[in-house]
Amino acid sequence: MEWVLVLITLTFHGHPEVQEVGRYSSMIECFQVREKLALDVGGDPATGHFPKGMQAVCIPHDNKYNK
């Protein structure tokens, strides 16, 4: 199994834009990168929250077909 980190951003008009940030072999690694990403895009250092209109999710993916 792999974990895919996806960044979701709402445009000025509220339309979602989705970007794959990376693929990771463990949930922990994915969440560590997600926490850093929150700060890199201007999130709140005190809480680790993403700015309004942005969010990132780690999604588990069965990559048995990618081998």
Eight-class DSSP state of 2: E
pLDDT tens profile 3-48: 999 999 999 999 999 999 999 999 999 999 999 999 999 999 999 9
Structure tokens at 50: 């993403």
The model's pTM is 0.88
Q: Is the dihedral of CA 26, 29, 34, 40 positive or negative?
A: negative
* Residue 56: closest CA among 1, 2, 9, 3: 9
List C-alpha distances in Å: 10 to 23, 26, 46, 54: 22, 27, 23, 6
64 pLDDT more than 80: no
